[in-house]
Amino acid sequence: MKPPRRLLTNHTIRRVQRHLRERHALEKQRSERRLFQEANRLKRLPLYLFTILDDLKAQARAKGVDVIDLGMGNPDLPTPRHVVEELCRQAKRAANHRYSRPDGDSERRLREAIAQWYFNKFHVSLNPMTEVLPLIGSKEGIAHLSLAFLNHDDITLVPNPAYPVHFNGVIMAGGMLYSLPTHEEEQYRPNLKSVNREVLKMSKMLFLSYPHNPTTATVDLKFFREVVDWAQAQRRLMVVHDFAYSDFIYDGAQAPSILQVPEAKQLSVEFHTLSKSYCMAGWRLGFAVGNPDILASLAKTKSYVDFGIFRAVQWAAVEALSGPQDTVTRTVETYRKRRDVFVGGLRRIGWDVPLPKSTFYIWAKLPLKFSALTSLEFATLLMQEAGVVVAPGSGFGEYGEGYVRFALVEPEANLRQAVARIEKVLRMED
């Protein structure tokens, strides 16, 4: 039996909007009451919308609502057993509980494992000691890269929408942000030739990320060839490629590395993470590869603010990168099946969303009948009416407005349940 039809009234919309206004007002009041005011660079940051979603989730759970959380890209699959076993073994070694050091045995071995993994996957040779840099997660490295290179009058070119650290890191470092709008009809590729000369004179970095979070867009090696040629023509413009979803490719699509372009290493670095492919999100381990001078400055910056990665975690990362890779294949296949289940379910209930070729996200335009709502208002509505958490597109930049992002980090049964709950919202009448 189909669920009874419900009315979407102006009252419902006003209630959602009132809740968000009250939430913003509360944040403002808290800030004004603080004895110690935050630095101006923090005040420049956009509101981190995921904190609002966290509050909504907490309120819903306090009321006994069974929340299905598709908001954050937090992998739910277990870390491969052989990786966990290596961590446990290495954690028992007293030597691994001292500070990490650049010339240590675990550090050297991890760099070598990264270089070998990279060659096996992309056929690009890297010097382990100068062209590889392990990180406490790629997010940390990306943020510190801005801190290492940006002065207050330096511009960073960032496609919009984007993974938030791409623009938040620039703001935290005190640099200037120049958004490159990207659109669905252009496959979410920035028009680099549209940037005027005055902006280019002050530009120091360009961020890219394919497969792309949140839009799921992909590019081919020809695109990177064009980017490198363009960047070389600008002189002293660094290209930064966030490659977190390199393994999450479906239906015959390709995910090339920018370093497969022969000249790219002269001006590029590429960031990877073990969070997604190896389900090690909480371990906080990633790496950067590419131009040795850029990596040396990044390492110098990090040396002032951290003591490196826990050595036992480094040895476990060596096991992940050097050991059996069939677990990665199974992980990717699991997300492909979830993609098919969820997209098929949304299409069945009348929400026509594209089938992504990469990542484990669904980037969906708001249903037409809800187009008068902002993405945050719609996400709030789904949370309050269906107990389903999604990420509002505006959290990824102003050009993400009008979209929401689903993260497929729940089992298929929960995804089917989420579709059933969303259907009740979609069937609300004006």
Q: Following DSSP, what letter does each residue of 30-43 receive, concatenated?
A: HHHH-SSPPPHHHH
Q: What are phi and psi of 179, to 5 degrees?
A: -80, 135
The rounded distance, in Å, linking the Cα atoms of 298 and 93 is 29
Strand partners of residue 365: 403
What pLDDT was estimated at residue 136? 96
What kind and span of H or E run contains 139?
A: helix 138-149
The rounded distance, in Å, linking the Cα atoms of 121 and 111 is 15
What kind and span of H or E run contains 375?
A: helix 375-386
Per-residue burial over 160-178, b = 16 or more CB atoms within 10 Å of its CB, e = otherwise: bbbbbbbbbbbbbbbbbbb
Residue-wise pLDDT tens digits, 241-281? 999 999 999 998 889 999 999 999 999 999 999 999 999 99
Q: Following DSSP, what letter does each residue of 304-318 receive, concatenated?
A: TT-----HHHHHHHH
Q: What are phi and psi of 273, to 5 degrees?
A: -140, 150
Domains and CATH numbers, the chain: 18-77+327-426 (3.90.1150.10), 81-322 (3.40.640.10)
Indicate the pTM of the whole model: 0.92
Residue-wise pLDDT tens digits, 45-89? 876 666 777 877 887 788 888 899 999 899 999 999 999 999 999
Helices (H) and strands (E) counted in the chain, each on its own, are: 14, 12
Tell me: cis bond preceding 214? Omega within 30 of 0 counts.
yes
Question: At 422, which amino acid appears?
Answer: I
Mean pLDDT by 10 residues, the chain (430 residues): 43 63 69 77 74 77 88 94 98 95 91 98 97 96 96 95 94 94 96 94 97 97 97 94 97 92 96 97 96 98 94 98 96 98 97 96 95 90 92 94 97 98 86
What pLDDT was estimated at residue 246? 96
Residue-wise pLDDT tens digits, 148-186? 999 999 999 999 999 999 999 999 999 999 999 999 999
